[in-house]
Structure 1
Amino acid sequence: MEQDQAPHGLSSCYRHPGVETGIRCTRCERPICPDCMVEASVGFQCPECVRSGSGTGHGAAAARPRNIAGGPLTAGDPHLVTKVLIGANALVFLAGLFVADFVDRTLLIGLAYDLQLGRVIGVADGEWYRMVTSVFLHQEVWHIGFNMLGLWVLGGPLEAAFGRVRYLALFLLSGLAGSALTYVVAAPNQGSLGASGAVFGLMGATFVMVRRLRYDLRPVLGLIALNVLITVVFRDTIAWEAHLGGLVAGAVIAYGLVSGPRERRPVVQWGVCALVLVATVVMTVMRTAALS
């Protein structure tokens, strides 16, 4: 069967012409993209081979199409969670513009005396919710614009590849890890806000996914290198700690999502997520004890 060629010389997915892929069905050898591939005992198969029962899986479980993380393929809008996250960031941005003291009450800060509120504020004062609310908080249009662009570009493919629940866990835990490292390293009275840590987590996860699928890593490495360069150049005005924490956490979580024996993969996946969560909690508790 003759296949269309993608712009860069790789084969195009037989169901999505123009989408580059280096993966072929282990049964019929048709090119398949991440949205179409179904994990088998060896390699990946196309949906047709799975439905026809000609695959190499075992019983009814193998007949259910699954994504790269081993979960069922997403029904409906494959970018639903990404759109919800962008909407949540937009709503919080508007709240920061029109609700009095909203930013002061929700940004990430370790410990400080707020003159406007007339009291001590910060995570060390028991306001742990700031570790999460700050991930959705932006003050400048350019800030939320760049972060939401990154979320849209990186988030869609990851949501399709990992499934909604795992993808949401990846985003939230990456953002939380970025907040935790910022809380530990930055000055306690230095405020921090933005979804950059979570977006950097998506970058780390994209690197792991592309490497797992054996695609060309150069575009992803270039994207990461560019953002690291921007972070270094503007380190005095950018929370580089959030970027670093999110990048590492995202890569670790993604590695857990695509690795491990097929039979015990859910245990490995949620175990890695739990370890990242525990690490962030431990970092936060230790920093709080040091500031108290």
Structure 2
Amino acid sequence: MSDGTRALETDPSVCYRHPGRQSWVLCQRCGRTVCPECQIQAPVGVHCPECVAETSGGVAWRPAHDVTPLAKPKRRRQPGRVRSMLAGASSSGTAVASQTILVAYAALFLVGLVTNNLPAQWLGGLPGTAWQLWRFVTAPLTYPAGLDISILFAALSGVFWWLTAPQLERMLGMRRFLGVVAVASIIGTAGMLLSGGAAFGLTAPLFGLFAALLVEVWGDPRARTQILVITAINLLFALTGGGLPALVGGIIGGAGTVYLLQSGPSRGWKPRTPVLIIAGVCALLVVLAVLRGGLPVL
């Protein structure tokens, strides 16, 4: 093993196989940090791919305390580290997806100021337009623009996204991050349309990410407490702007997506089974929202 690889493995803030991804989960056998993609459910806890390979092929399973660690176990992240990371502390890796979403959100808001809110009219989740299926994904990118209090609410959503989403993308990985954002957006938008309201803004995907992260760190009491506190603070700001169905839908979408993806292997499911379940739930809610709003008259 090279010196560079050993240096990465001693950093408790990143996955030992993917140094650009944050994680709090440790392999129960060797003590190395593993990201969601590298986590494999074992008879006792989560293990890394190398430990699973070493104990497979007829090798008898031994408890973790009987196995000589491959690397020195790392101390769990202190609460201050968790808080600083979620507040925008620097970390390795890029966050292209979250930054692109924020740029698109800001650009569409500015365009709305000078076009009488055309982006919100064509992309937002408006009652009676649920049959235009793209709105379930694009609604979070829009916000009714005006020279009034809407600027403050739009800016707060953007700031919270900027402070949290890039770090969550680095931890979850781009593919899982985009999956959580998409599912939370669809369910949140469907929830608003089913309640008879309009869906705008980053509330659904933002709280979907918070919920996904909470599932990831649930086994660490200190990290869990920090995420709950940060979520509660954001919840107070979000409720002042309304949109409770979008908020609840985002939480359900984010938590449900990560939970199903994590628990699938331990249940003996095929890799596509959690994806099919998630897609089925989203499709059902979209159909209900379309029926609730009425089909277009041809």
1:132 partnered with 2:137: yes
The CA distance in 2 between the partners of 1:27 and 1:134, in whole Å, is 44
Question: Which residue does 1:62 correspond to in 2?
Answer: none
- 1:278 is matched with which residue: 261, 269, 283? 283
How far off is 1:105 after superposition? 3.3
How far off is 1:185 after superposition? 0.8
Query: Structure 1: 5+ residue runs without aligned partners?
Result: 1-12, 59-75, 111-121
Question: Which residue does 1:166 correspond to in 2?
Answer: 176
After superposition, the C-alpha distances for 1:60-85 in whole angstroms (9 at most, x for unaligned) are xxxxxxxxxxxxxxxx9442222222
Against the structure 1 CA distance between its residues 276 and 157, is the aligned structure 2 distance closer, same or farther, given a 3 Å change threshold? farther
TM-score, length-scaled by structure 2: 0.65
Question: Which residue does 2:194 correspond to in 1?
Answer: 184
The CA distance in 1 between the partners of 2:189 and 2:137, in whole Å, is 8
The CA distance in 2 between the partners of 1:223 and 1:212, in whole Å, is 17
1:256 partnered with 2:266: no
Deviates more, 1:243-252 or 1:277-286: 277-286
Provide the alpha-carbon RMSD of the alignment: 3.7
How far off is 1:137 after superposition? 0.7
1:222 partnered with 2:226: no
Partner amino acid, structure 2, of 1:184: L
Matching of residues 80-91 of structure 1 within 5 Å: 80-91=96-107
Against the structure 1 CA distance between its residues 135 and 23, is the aligned structure 2 distance closer, same or farther, given a 3 Å change threshold? closer
How far off is 1:290 after superposition? 9.1
Against the structure 1 CA distance between its residues 278 and 57, is the aligned structure 2 distance closer, same or farther, given a 3 Å change threshold? farther
- Check the 8 A contact 2:93/2:170 in 1, yes or no: no
The CA distance in 2 between the partners of 1:39 and 1:200, in whole Å, is 26
Query: Structure 2: 5+ residue runs without aligned partners?
Result: 1-8, 16-21, 58-91
The CA distance in 2 between the partners of 1:196 and 1:243, in whole Å, is 6
How far off is 1:29 after superposition? 3.3
Against the structure 1 CA distance between its residues 35 and 272, is the aligned structure 2 distance closer, same or farther, given a 3 Å change threshold? closer
How far off is 1:54 after superposition? 7.6
Fraction of identical pairs, as percent:
23
Against the structure 1 CA distance between its residues 219 and 90, is the aligned structure 2 distance closer, same or farther, given a 3 Å change threshold? same
Aligned length: 242
After superposition, the C-alpha distances for 1:250-275 in whole angstroms (9 at most, x for unaligned) are 11112112112256352233123213
The CA distance in 2 between the partners of 1:174 and 1:89, in whole Å, is 16
1:96 partnered with 2:76: no
How far off is 1:109 after superposition? 1.8
Against the structure 1 CA distance between its residues 78 and 286, is the aligned structure 2 distance closer, same or farther, given a 3 Å change threshold? same
How far off is 1:97 after superposition? 2.6
TM-score, length-scaled by structure 1: 0.67
After superposition, the C-alpha distances for 1:154-178 in whole angstroms (9 at most, x for unaligned) are 4334434443223212101211211
